[in-house]
């Protein structure tokens, strides 16, 4: 990861960089909008600092370096104690250097460190008198901030009244969760306003906004608390508690009053005893980043003990006892160059954004998802827009919103297709996701390739090239035709010798016996996936029972609600000719071990799962499997869990009974350890479910 920026060439370049940085900071702190994303701003400020270190006589007074909020924020409400920013490090080596410097300053090794997520929001101070929230103030320039008390009542986690009538000030971040951000943009665009570019800008702009015809919900997370000066009633008994207790205990006390902290999240604050343990916790939090329902841009590391903080002291901009360990950016601003329209295996016409290549989180991003035409319209996206692109972990990059204030007037509307881009047929636009009027028949090769995949029918030897051959030769129109193929037909194809033909026919014959769950997955019923196909198969036991079910009966399957059930029923009706062909050629239509439901009874997840060594257990698999499980795909592992009586899940939670942790298990193992969940190695798990292993 890069930790420095390109050097500024001369005085003119330095002056231009100062102007760019100050304008960006001013825009962000005034309206929540900025022409620079976080990473670009950080790199620019680092370049300024490097130039100023080498040319101390040329430092301009407007430079944002060494100033709280880059010197851009203003306010007229004085802070009782300066509300400072944090210095940054960008690597383990930089953190180790900073930690050693801190311990030298204190004169001893620190006994306790606090490690907590750096939430991506706007810092505020909330003042409570006798337990009542009376004032909300932005950080401003650190000495004084802006009164934003009009936002009281719109911020989750910042109660109007505490559980005790105490007088104190809590400090923390106001942010938007991912869900709040989506709701906020839907609300804004519904009122004719431009969508927010990202959750951080959304929180900053919303906090200051007044007299809007709508309200937008935000969330608060406390990171500090301090007593308000006497003689305010109720503050005297807190002075010692808040000034002399460890930081971790102060956060616990505040949480007990009803104020939200990160304690209840997947990345709670944690104390460790040594600097090397800090790095391990940093890596744990970073690994969980993609799964969090809110944005983080780093990890805050603090001296936990009050005595250590006092010994370290503070500078004019930042405390010396805390540092922000910044993570690689997961969002960047780049240009939308074009929109491609691709047709999927079920005929869904999906738009994809073509971007000016941009490096995000260590990889180059050229494409991003755009969901559907309605989403494009709602976000008011245009070709040529500067757009905020977001990427976290293995999630497909997505466009958050256009950066509307950067428009030049040369942007053009995105053209929606009038006919199917794949086959030229009409388009069904009755739902948000548009679909070719020919449905699955539009993309026979894609449908066939999907159906024969390892986690569906698992027909070895029938890859993409062979699928194209079969379709172009007119031998296969859908995957049911596979079961009628003859040896002579296959031998007539290029590069199909006797051995490969016989092997393919044997694989097709084996596929005829796959359980109903695999057949359902191969059909690609919209609204379902592999795990849902297993639940449906175990609930109904036979295809006949499933096809006879109405929407109300389908709703009895765990995880299927009132909106999804009618879609599944309609899909099965559309697939009736294909299902009839499969029945006619002898494809299995039952689920081994499953019992058909009794009319009128709801699905019992435990009963659906069956019985066995995992009876009633929820099991999560992570990492690479070894030993007897080495060749099993993740879908096959989930099938194994259900054959053994358990329920497979993809995420660790308090309801998880067992985590099977293979090599490079990562964040799920860390979360399981936090929650005290039992963990098994692949070999231990194989012994536990030996009777259900394939071939037994």
Q: What is residue 479's predicted lDDT score, i.e. its pLDDT?
A: 93
Q: Are 91 and 282 in contact (CB under 8 A)?
A: no
Burial environment of residue 676 by CB neighbours within 10 A (0 to 12, 13 to 18, 19 or more): exposed
What pLDDT, on a 0 to 100 scale, did the predictor assign at position 320?
A: 95
How sure is the predictor about 160, in pLDDT bands with cuts at 50, 70 and 90?
very high
Give the DSSP letter string of 525-546.
Answer: -TT--HHHHHHHHHHH-BHHHH
Q: Say whether pLDDT at 9 is over 80.
A: no
pLDDT class of 29 with cuts at 50, 70, 90: low
618-692 has the same fold as 78-326: no
**Which ranges of 558-666 does DSSP label H, i.e. alpha helix?**
564-574, 576-584, 605-609, 634-643
Say what the pLDDT of residue 57 is: 81
pTM for the model stands at 0.60
Confidence of residue 30 (pLDDT cuts 50, 70, 90): low
What is the C-alpha separation between 397 and 367, in angstroms, rounded?
Answer: 7
Average the pLDDT over each of 92-96, 178-182, 329-333, 516-520 and give the range with the smallest value: 329-333
CB 73 within 8 A of CB 252: no
Per CATH, the architecture of 516-603 is what?
A: Orthogonal Bundle (1.10)
Q: For the segment 259-287, what is each residue's pLDDT rounded down to a tens digit?
A: 999 998 888 999 999 888 999 999 989 88
Query: What are the residues whose beta carbons fall under 8 Å from the beta carbon of 97, sequence distance 6 or more?
Result: 89
Strand 349-360 to 122-129 pairing: unpaired
64 to 51, 78, 401: CA distances (angstroms): 13, 21, 28
CA distance 607 to 515: 18
Residue-wise pLDDT for 520-579, tens only, equals 999 988 878 888 898 899 899 999 999 999 999 999 998 888 888 998 999 999 899 999
Predicted pLDDT at 273:
92
pLDDT for 232:
42
CATH number among 3.20.20.70, 1.10.287.3510, 2.40.50.140, 1.10.760.10, domain 331-413: 2.40.50.140
Q: Which pLDDT does position 664 carry in this prediction?
A: 80
Q: Lowest mean pLDDT of 2-16, 237-251, 302-316, name the range.
A: 2-16
**17 contacts 8 by C-beta, under 8 angstroms:** yes
Q: What is the DSSP letter of 623?
A: S
Please state which CATH class domain 439-511 belongs to.
Answer: mainly alpha
CA distance 514 to 31: 59
pLDDT-based confidence at residue 1 (cuts at 50, 70, 90)? very low
391-445 tens-digit pLDDT: 765 567 888 788 877 888 999 999 999 999 988 889 999 888 899 988 877 878 8
The whole-number pLDDT of residue 169 equals 95
d(CA 163, CA 159) in angstroms, rounded, equals: 9
Residue 78's SS3 state is strand
SS3 113: strand
Is residue 80's pLDDT more than 50?
yes
Per-residue pLDDT at 175 exceeds 60? yes
Q: Is the pLDDT of residue 581 over 90?
A: yes
The pairing of beta strand 363-369 with beta strand 349-360: antiparallel
Q: What is the pLDDT, as a whole number, of residue 332?
A: 86
Report how far residue 436's alpha carbon sits from residue 348's, in angstroms, rounded to the nearest whole number.
6
pLDDT of residue 390: 84
What is the average per-residue pLDDT within 446-452?
89
pLDDT in tens, 672-690: 888 889 999 999 999 998 8
Return d(Cα 92, Cα 301) in angstroms, integer.
Answer: 12
Percent of the chain with pLDDT over 90: 45
How much is the pLDDT for 64? Answer: 75
Least confident interval from 541-545, 572-576, 581-585, 630-634: 630-634
Check pLDDT > 90 for residue 481.
yes
Domain residue extents for the chain: 11-65, 78-326, 331-413, 439-511, 516-603, 618-692
Fold entry, domain 618-692: Rossmann fold (3.40.50)
Query: Exposed (0-12), middle (13-18) or buried (19+): which is 277, by Cβ within 10 Å?
Result: middle
Instruction: Give me the active site residues, please.
Output: 118
What mean pLDDT do residues 208-225 have?
A: 90
**In the predicted structure, residue 667 carries a pLDDT above the cut 80:** no
Local confidence band at 447 (pLDDT 50, 70, 90 cut-offs): confident
The predicted pLDDT at position 6 comes to 56
Residue 601, pLDDT score? 54
d(Cα 49, Cα 42) in Å, to the nearest integer? 11
For residue 5, pLDDT over 60 is answered with no
Residue 3 has pLDDT above 80, yes or no: no
> Smallest Cα–Cα separation from 275: which of 150, 129, 92?
92
Is the confidence at residue 2, as pLDDT, over 50? no
Tokens matching residue 355: 């971007």
**Helix pair 199-208, 178-190: axis angle to 10 deg:** 60
Report the candidate in 157, 149, 144 with the shortest Cα–Cα distance to residue 127. 149
d(CA 218, CA 332): 23
Per-residue confidence at 649, pLDDT binned at 50, 70, 90? Answer: confident
Q: What is the pLDDT of residues 118-131, one digit of tens each?
A: 998 899 999 999 99
Rank 153-162, 352-361, 526-535 by mean pLDDT and report only the highest.
Answer: 153-162
> pLDDT averaged over the chain?
86
Class in CATH terms, 11-65: mainly alpha
Architecture of domain 78-326: 2-Layer Sandwich (3.30)
């Amino acid at each position: 990861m890069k930790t420095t920026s390109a050097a500024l060439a001369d005085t003119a370049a330095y002056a231009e960089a100062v102007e760019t940085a100050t304008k960006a900071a001013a825009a962000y702190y005034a309206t929540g909008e900025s022409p620079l994303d976080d990473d670009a701003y950080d790199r620019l400020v680092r370049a300024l600092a490097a130039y100023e270190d080498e040319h101390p006589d040329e430092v301009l007074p407007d430079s944002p370096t060494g100033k709280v909020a880059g010197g851009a924020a203003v306010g007229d409400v004085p802070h009782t104690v300066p509300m400072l920013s944090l210095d940054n490090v960008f690597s383990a080596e930089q953190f180790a250097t900073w930690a050693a410097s801190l311990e030298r300053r204190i004169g001893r090794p620190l006994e306790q460190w606090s490690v907590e997520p750096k939430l991506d929001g706007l810092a505020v101070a909330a003042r409570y008198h006798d337990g009542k929230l009376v004032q909300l103030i932005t950080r401003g320039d650190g000495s004084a901030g802006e009164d934003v008390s009009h936002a009281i009542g719109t911020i989750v986690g910042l109660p109007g009244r505490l559980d005790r009538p105490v007088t104190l000030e809590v400090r923390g971040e106001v942010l938007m969760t991912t869900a709040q951000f989506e709701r906020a943009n839907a609300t804004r665009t519904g009122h004719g306003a431009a969508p927010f570019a990202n959750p951080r800008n959304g929180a900053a702009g919303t906090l200051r906004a007044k007299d809007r015809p709508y309200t937008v919900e935000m969330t608060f997370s406390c990171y500090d608390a301090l007593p308000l000066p006497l003689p305010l009633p109720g503050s005297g008994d807190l002075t010692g508690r808040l000034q002399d207790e460890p930081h971790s205990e102060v956060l616990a006390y505040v949480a007990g009053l009803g104020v939200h902290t990160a304690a209840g999240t997947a990345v709670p604050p944690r104390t460790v005893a040594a600097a090397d343990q800090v790095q391990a916790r940093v890596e744990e939090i970073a690994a969980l980043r993609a799964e969090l329902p809110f944005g983080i841009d780093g990890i805050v590391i603090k001296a936990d003990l009050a005595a250590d903080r006092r010994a370290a002291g503070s500078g004019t901009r930042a405390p010396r006892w805390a540092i922000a360990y910044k993570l690689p950016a997961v969002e960047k601003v780049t240009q939308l160059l074009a929109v491609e329209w691709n047709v999927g295996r079920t005929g869904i016409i999906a738009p994809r954004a073509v971007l000016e290549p941009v490096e995000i989180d260590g990889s180059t991003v050229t494409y991003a998802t755009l969901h559907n035409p309605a989403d494009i319209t709602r976000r008011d996206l245009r070709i040529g827009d500067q757009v905020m692109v977001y990427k976290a972990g293995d999630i497909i990059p997505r466009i958050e919103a256009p950066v509307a204030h950067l428009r030049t007037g040369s942007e053009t509307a995105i053209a929606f297709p009038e006919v199917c881009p794949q086959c030229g047929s009409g388009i069904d636009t009755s739902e948000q996701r548009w679909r070719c009027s020919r449905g699955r028949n539009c993309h026979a090769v894609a449908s066939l390739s999907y159906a024969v995949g390892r986690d569906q029918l698992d027909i070895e030897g029938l890859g993409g090239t062979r699928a194209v051959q079969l379709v172009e030769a007119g031998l296969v129109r859908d995957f049911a035709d596979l079961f009628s193929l003859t040896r002579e037909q296959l031998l007539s194809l290029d590069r199909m010798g006797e051995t490969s033909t016989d092997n393919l026919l044997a694989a097709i014959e084996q596929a005829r016996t796959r359980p109903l769950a695999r057949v359902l997955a191969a059909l690609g019923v919209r609204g379902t996936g592999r795990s849902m196909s297993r639940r449906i198969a175990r609930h109904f036991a036979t295809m006949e029972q499933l096809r006879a079910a109405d929407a109300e009966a389908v709703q009895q399957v765990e995880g299927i609600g009132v909106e999804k059930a009618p879609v599944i029923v309609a899909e099965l009706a559309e697939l009736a000719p294909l299902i009839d062909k499969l029945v006619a050629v002898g494809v299995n239509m039952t689920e081994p071990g499953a019992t058909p439901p009794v009319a009128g009874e709801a699905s019992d997840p435990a009963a659906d799962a069956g019985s066995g060594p995992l009876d009633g257990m929820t099991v999560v698999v992570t990492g690479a499997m070894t030993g007897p499980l080495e060749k099993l795909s993740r879908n096959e592992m989930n099938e194994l869990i259900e054959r053994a009586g358990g329920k497979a899940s993809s995420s660790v939670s308090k309801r998880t009974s067992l985590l099977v942790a293979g090599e490079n298990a990562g964040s799920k193992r860390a979360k399981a350890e936090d929650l005290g969940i039992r963990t098994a190695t692949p070999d231990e798990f194989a012994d536990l479910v030996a009777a259900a292993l394939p071939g037994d």
